Amino acid sequence: MAYDPEKYREKREKVLGIKKRGIGFGTLAAIVSLLVVAGLGAVTVPRAVSYMATRNLDDAIFKLESGASWPKTAISELSAMEGVKQIVQDKNGSRLVVTYDHRKVKTDAVIEGFVRQDLKVTLLNEINHRQHRTTMENEEEDGEAP
């Protein structure tokens, strides 16, 4: 019978390693390892990024001694202060949470800013920003008003 090079092509390719027989152990191990690393990365990287972004932030919680709502001018002026990252009022507007970078500004400087605007304020609490955020999230989950 005449020799037909196509007849045993599949076998020839297996011998020469052109046609792979399934996934090799090394490839499978690499894929599983990559999946595990990617999974761990998906969990840890956002946390690490969030931590790096907020590790120098503190929250100071103020209220006006009069118990009135906070004037908008006071909030906008405070927002312009170097080192102040965020200002949030609670739902009824009586408490003001000032988030600031403790490397650039101290609580005393924030209070001085209020004094310059003739506002008498009470400092209710100073707390690490991340810790405060976690507390707020827990309170929200428990259904407590912030």
Out of 2, 52, 80, 145, point to the residue binding other proteins (CB under 8 A). Answer: 2
Count of CB atoms situated within 10 Å of the CB of 43: 10
CA 100 to chain centre: 16
**Secondary structure class of 70 (helix, strand, coil):** coil
Out of 1, 42, 52, 80, point to the residue binding other proteins (CB under 8 A). Answer: 1
In the complex, the smallest distance separating the C-beta of residue 16 from other proteins, rounded to whole angstroms, is 7
What is the pattern of x (binds other proteins, CB under 8 A) and - over residues 8-47? x--xx-xxxx---xx-------------------------
- On whether the CB atoms of residues 99 and 59 are closer than 8 A, the answer is yes
CA nearest neighbour of 71 among 140, 12, 117, 15: 117
Residue numbers of the site for other proteins (CB under 8 A)?
A: 1-5, 7-8, 11-12, 14-17, 21-22
